[in-house]
Amino acid sequence: GQQLNQSPQSMFIQEGEDVSMNCTSSSIFNTWLWYKQDPGEGPVLLIALYKAGELTSNGRLTAQFGITRKDSFLNISASIPSDVGIYFCAGHLPSNTGKLIFGQGTTLQVKP
């Protein structure tokens, strides 16, 4: 089936550093979304992207929908301890019925 390749798998950074993660696919996606999951909770939507080339910010988060529609990245600037968690990319295929395909996740740890 369709897969999203998300990297890196994990990151351990110092507080204040910037973070970048990305997702690629062999398929074209109509939408790209980025979620964050805290322990014991469901994923929470951070940013949604709907057009190729779109660049969207949400506070310290910035995400882009790749021009080829096969990739997306998420940047976090000036990381803080509460950024710790698992970040997932997700995409919606043109032929799908609403189903989202999720990446494997990037686990972020921030050292104060």
Partner 1 sequence: GAGVSQSPSNKVTEKGKDVELRCDPISGHTALYWYRQSLGQGLEFLIYFQGNSAPDKSGLPSDRFSAERTGGSVSTLTIQRTQQEDSAVYLCASSSVTGDYGYTFGSGTRLTVV
**Least CB distance from residue 105 to partner 1, whole Å?**
5
Six token digits for residue 59: 């506070």
Give the integer Cα–Cα distance in Å for 9 and 95.
Answer: 28
Output 9 or 68, the one with its CB closest to partner 1.
Answer: 9
- Closest to 24 in 3D by CA, of 87, 91, 76, 107: 91
Specify the amino acid at residue 81: P
Q: Which residues bind partner 1 (CB under 8 A)?
A: 6, 31, 33, 40-45, 48, 88, 90, 92, 96-105
Output 47 or 76, the one with its CB closest to partner 1.
Answer: 47
Output 3 or 15, the one with its CB closest to partner 1.
Answer: 3
The one-character DSSP state at 99 is: P
Six token digits for residue 16: 């204040």
**Least CB distance from residue 31 to partner 1, whole Å?**
5
**Least CB distance from residue 19 to partner 1, whole Å?**
19
